[in-house]
Amino acid sequence: MSVGIWRFFDGDPVGVLRETAAEVEELGFDAIWFGEYAGREAFAQAALLLAATSKLTIATGVARFDQRSPLAAEGAVRALGEAYPGRFIAGLGGHRPGARPLTALREYLDGMDAAELPGLPQPVPRPRRVLAALGPKLLGLAAERADGAHPYFVPPEHTALARERLGPGKYLAVEQAVVLDADPAVARKHVELYVRQAPHHQANLRRLGFTDEDLADGGSDRLVDAIVATGEQAAADRIRAHLDAGADHVCVQVLARKPDSYRRLADLLP
């Protein structure tokens, strides 16, 4: 069972990053994944977390390709791979206004692969490259051009479909939101944010059989329950469900965190 922690660190001082990384490593989790939204540059933040730990895998979940050139991204991936062999995963994704996501990301990967960095050779092993992929086309691109995929905001039913689309040899790391203290309002607020503001998540949910009624008014009870596991036993069961559906790794985003949240989560795992 491979389980990590998924977290936004936006607004947290560097000391909190270091303390969190040390705690997550001590508790026996396999990785920390973090999003890039309005905080630190993703690769710089990865370097801080890697430096604060000795064996933990650090993964961008995801570094936004619209925020930096392919050359800059490739240079960062190589540098982190050389400095911390086997401990960095480069998760890539994002949206470029006016561009088709599939075309834009494919062109970006072309730029990374063609980057000329004679003073910075490929590290061995090369860091895993995974794509933020939800629909069949982007999952196909992940199977073709990356080491796997990092779906976010998905139920186990999507994990089964993603595994089928990726094939057996690709790495599938799935984000799962949980509320350890059963609080439906926290779960609903999380779902409402993405349902109202993220058309690509809306489209993915429709592919999974959710209706306009499920997406209305911030999300139906059925949708909230499918996306957020509420309660300790539900969290443990949902992690297992993703793994049984074909995930190699589940990174858990604990909503409404408390000082003991990660320890409580660790205690739920066998």
Percent of the chain with pLDDT over 90: 94
Please choose, from the candidates 164, 151, 149, 176, the residue with its C-alpha nearest in 3D space to the C-alpha of residue 241: 176
> Nearest 5 degrees, angle CA 131-CA 232-CA 238?
40
197-232 tens-digit pLDDT: 999 999 999 999 999 999 999 999 999 999 999 999
Q: Is residue 205 part of a domain?
A: no
Among 220, 199, 207, 202, which residue's Cα sits nearest to residue 158?
207
pLDDT for 202: 96
| pLDDT surpasses 90 at 135 | yes
pTM: 0.97
**245 domain residue, yes or no:** yes
- The dihedral through the CA atoms of 199, 238, 50, 108 has a sign that is negative
- Confirm whether 184 is domain-assigned: no
Report if residue 89 sits inside a domain: yes
Do the domain assignments include residue 191?
no
pLDDT tens per residue across span 49-72: 999 999 999 999 999 999 999 999
Q: State mean pLDDT over 151-162.
A: 98
Range of the domain at 70: 3-176+232-268
- Residues 244-253: tens digit of each pLDDT: 999 999 999 9
DSSP labels for 110-129? HHHHT---TTSPPPSSPPEE
Q: What is the DSSP string of 10-46?
A: TT--HHHHHHHHHHHHHTT-SEEEE--SSSS-HHHHH
**Total structural domains within the chain:** 1
pLDDT at 97: 85
SS3 210: coil
188 in a structural domain: no
Residue 42's pLDDT band, with cuts at 50, 70 and 90, is very high
| 224 domain residue, yes or no | no
- The answer to whether residues 262 and 32 touch, using CB atoms and an 8 Å cutoff, is no
Could you tell me if 203 and 135 are in contact, meaning their C-beta atoms sit under 8 angstroms apart? Answer: yes
pLDDT of residue 270: 85
pLDDT for residue 149 is more than 90: yes
